[in-house]
């Protein structure tokens, strides 16, 4: 009697299928980003590639720069190209953090599927908020906004930004823009999508409006304060998932106190 071999299904999904794109989206997006980076290496494509990677709309002419003087920038349409490129970078970084940090922690905690989704969300946001607070705080210190409140509206609306100042806002818009494709890449449940789309849209629209209308100094200070409060919340949320509810409750209480302390009386 001849036993017919069992048909084994391939573990690799068909090319260009939804599952294939989801599993390999980081590699696909990184290849697209590399096209722009490689374009910088060739003289013919360098002008086009630099539009997507470098900061543009210089407010300080190159010929007028003196030794030690930092170049300043304004806003413009070319910033949309930079936001697009760094959105691609955001997708790649998101995948790296997910695979090499969050997934390893998640397996040790043995979370349910519902908690896994929330853990991934809080983990990604926590890392972003921490970096944004440190980066934004450094920009505030360098710009002299910490002890000089009047500097928030000085020379408005002709407010020029340093490289790191402008790059901060480009990355902010790129991060919240990358949250939309991540809904597909991370297989977010349909019932969880409205909340994530709502807060990502609020962040994106608010930051983009402040950037376009030259309220960058004020927006920078408010973002750092808000992100600091959000950091406490997501730390408490992650601790809660680690079955430490008493510590998490203290973190949430701190955030509530912080919120009420901002309300004018």
Let me know: does 79 contact 169? Beta carbons within 8 Å: no
Report pTM. Answer: 0.86
pLDDT for the residue 246: 52
From first to last of its 265 residues, the chain has per-residue pLDDT tens of: 454 554 544 577 887 788 888 889 999 999 999 999 999 999 999 999 999 999 999 887 766 677 767 888 999 999 999 999 999 999 999 999 999 999 998 888 888 887 888 999 999 999 999 999 999 999 999 988 888 888 888 888 878 899 999 999 999 999 999 999 999 999 988 999 999 999 999 999 999 999 999 999 999 999 999 999 999 999 999 988 877 655 445 555 545 445 444 444 3
What residues form DSSP beta bridges with 162?
72
How many of the other CB atoms lie within 10 Å of CB of 164? 14
Q: How far apart are CA 174 and CA 83, in angstroms?
A: 5
| Rounded CA separation 98/122 (Å) | 11
Is residue 220 helix, strand or coil? helix
Per-residue model confidence as pLDDT tens digits over 40-67:
999 999 999 999 999 999 887 766 677 7
Residue 165: name the closest of 206, 209, 211 by CA: 211
């Amino acid at each position: 009697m001849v036993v017919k071999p069992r048909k084994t299904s391939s573990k690799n999904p068909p090319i260009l299928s939804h599952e294939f794109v989801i599993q390999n989206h980081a590699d696909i997006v990184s290849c697209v980003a590399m096209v722009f980076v490689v374009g910088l290496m060739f003289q013919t494509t360098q002008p086009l590639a630099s539009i997507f990677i470098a900061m543009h709309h210089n407010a300080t002419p190159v010929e007028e720069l003196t030794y030690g003087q930092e170049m300043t920038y304004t806003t413009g349409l070319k910033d949309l190209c930079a936001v697009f490129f760094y959105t691609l970078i955001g997708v790649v970084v998101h995948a790296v953090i997910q695979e090499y940090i969050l997934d390893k922690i998640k397996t040790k905690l043995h979370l349910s599927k519902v908690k896994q989704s929330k853990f991934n969300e809080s983990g990604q946001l926590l890392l972003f908020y921490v970096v944004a607070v440190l980066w934004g705080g450094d920009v505030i210190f360098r710009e002299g906004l910490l002890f000089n409140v009047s500097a928030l509206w000085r020379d408005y609306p002709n407010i020029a930004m340093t490289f790191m100042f402008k790059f901060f806002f480009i990355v902010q818009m790129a991060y919240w823009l990358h949250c939309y494709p991540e809904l597909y890449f991370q297989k977010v449940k349909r019932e969880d999508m409205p909340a994530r789309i709502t807060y990502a849209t609020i962040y994106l629209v608010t930051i983009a409006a402040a950037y376009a209308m030259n309220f960058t100094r004020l927006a920078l200070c408010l973002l750092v304060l808000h992100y600091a409060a959000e950091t406490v919340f997501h730390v408490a949320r992650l601790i809660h998932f680690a079955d430490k509810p008493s510590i998490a409750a203290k973190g949430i209480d701190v955030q509530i106190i912080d919120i009420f302390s901002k309300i004018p009386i």
